[in-house]
Structure 1
Amino acid sequence: MSATDGADGAAAGPARSVRELLFGLPMLAGELPGFDPGAAPEEPFPLFLEWFAEAVARGVREPHAMSLATIDAEGCPDLRVVALRDATAEGWTFATDAGSPKARQLAGQPQAAIGFHWREQGRQIRARGPVVRADAATAAADFLDRLPGSRAASLVGHQSEALTDPAALPHAFAAALARIEADPTTVAPDHALFTVRPVSVEFWQGVPGRGHIRVRYSAPRADGPWTRELLWP
């Protein structure tokens, strides 16, 4: 079978460029929720809570998936998706290993940007601001609030290190899970909790065939007060 044959032996079509594949892809398809920017609250968190609750109620897949951007020692941005652990008027909280690249980057440059994309609703939320690390007791409580499998994965450690022997991973996970089962109060010593305290938050509502709606909240510092403005698309 040649490299151009399909699984059933039929000839595959010619390779297409990314630009060709992009052409004609639908955007903002389906019925999207409305958004009246004039009725937006004076501060961003109540609107985030409203949108997040609506995303959960409408079955948006993994609405807690949050993009996190940090800056490394050379000034180069780094991006990954993390799980939202909590959100309050103070900011958005996530967890990681204290030795992970993002934790080390935040130690050197305690600023970050976050983003949510809820495709099914044509909505995006992005924020940026300083990042603060929680104390050890708060981090421990967050760790113990996790499911056993998640706690075991954190106990394994070595986040982002090279895995030279793939067989070592299941063995390390099994050992960590056994440790959790033997002592449910076990806490990973390097479990760290961080909160992005926003100085800028933007809400984006897509509108098919029309101008998208953008509302930005800004504060000169992380403890407010907030100003709100409508932006051009």
Structure 2
Amino acid sequence: MRDELRLLKSLTGPFPAFEADLTPDEPRDLFSAWLRDAIEADIMEPHTMVLSTIDENGAPDARVLILKNLDRRGWHFATTGRGPKGRQIAANPSVSLTFYWPQLGRQVRLRGMAFQAEAHERYADFRARATGAKAVALTGRQSEVLGSSQELHDELALQHRRLQEEPDLVAPGWALFIVMPHEVEFWQGDAERRHQRLRYRREKAGWLKERLWP
């Protein structure tokens, strides 16, 4: 496997130019620009991200989610509050988010605190989901051991019937989390490994920008 991995190419470029000295004062503005670049480059699922949390044993846990929104409060994502992610955040709201767009050689990392959005926002998010996604959430059994495929089939059929009867149904405990970062790092890859790294750190007076070594 080692030899196979060494033969795989990485960071071949060409990549976009990045002028760290010409970046905006707030990381949200730069992130929005990079996300638009990823969308315009036709990168598949450019809004995917890795959410990292800490479990009850103090060990890191991570999974891929979808970015739902970005506003002055922070980066939004949704999940059931009763699953592992929700329980871990309730116990320790310190989280990190990681975005990676390989065709552009770009990565963004955020570290901050997650908090729940208002109830009306959580309800609106759930009702906007696809029917299949709502049915899965309504089972309320995320990450539990599955006995059989038939058990899953029967439970989803039940939830689909419930949604037909109650279209505005919302899963109990549905959560829309907002991550307010205290640190955001932008990484622009380079084929010669002369990567550019720009870190924003939140201070009382605003955001401090720092260049980092590759």
Match of residue 218 from structure 1: 201
Match of residue 88 from structure 1: 71
Distance 1:119 1:173 in 2: 36
Residues 77-226 of structure 1 correspond to what in structure 2 (within 5 A)?
77-220=60-203, 225-226=206-207
Instruction: Give the alignment's TM-score, normalised by structure 1.
Output: 0.87
Could you tell me how far 1:122 is from its partner in structure 2? Answer: 0.7
Q: Secondary structure at the match of 1:199?
A: strand
Could you tell me how far 1:41 is from its partner in structure 2? Answer: 0.4
**Greater Cα radius of gyration, structure 1 or 2:** 1
Match of residue 15 from structure 2: 32
One-letter amino acid matched to 1:130: M
Distance 2:140 2:113 in 1: 26
Match of residue 210 from structure 2: 229
Aligned residues: 214
Could you tell me how far 1:24 is from its partner in structure 2? Answer: 2.3
Distance 1:165 1:210 in 2: 48
Root-mean-square deviation over aligned CA pairs: 1.4
Distance 2:118 2:73 in 1: 15
Q: Secondary structure at the match of 2:199?
A: strand
Could you tell me how far 1:162 is from its partner in structure 2? Answer: 0.5
One-letter amino acid matched to 1:42: D
Distance 1:43 1:30 in 2: 27
Identity %: 42
Distance 2:58 2:12 in 1: 37
One-letter amino acid matched to 1:95: A
Mapped pair 1:74 → 2:36: no
Match of residue 8 from structure 1: none
Distance 1:193 1:95 in 2: 4
Counterparts in 2 of 1:191 and 1:107: CA distance versus 1, 3 Å: same
Match of residue 20 from structure 1: 3
Structure 1 window deviating more from structure 2 (63-72 vs 22-31): it is 22-31
Could you tell me how far 1:178 is from its partner in structure 2? Answer: 2.4
Query: Where does structure 1 differ by over 3 angstroms across 4 or more consecutive aligned residues?
Result: none
Could you tell me how far 1:28 is from its partner in structure 2? Answer: 1.2
- The runs of 5 or more residues in structure 1 that have no matched partner are 1-17
One-letter amino acid matched to 2:67: L
Higher strand share: 2
- The runs of 5 or more residues in structure 2 that have no matched partner are none
Could you tell me how far 1:175 is from its partner in structure 2? Answer: 2.0
One-letter amino acid matched to 1:228: K
One-letter amino acid matched to 1:160: S
Contact 2:79-2:176 within 8 A present in 1 as well: yes
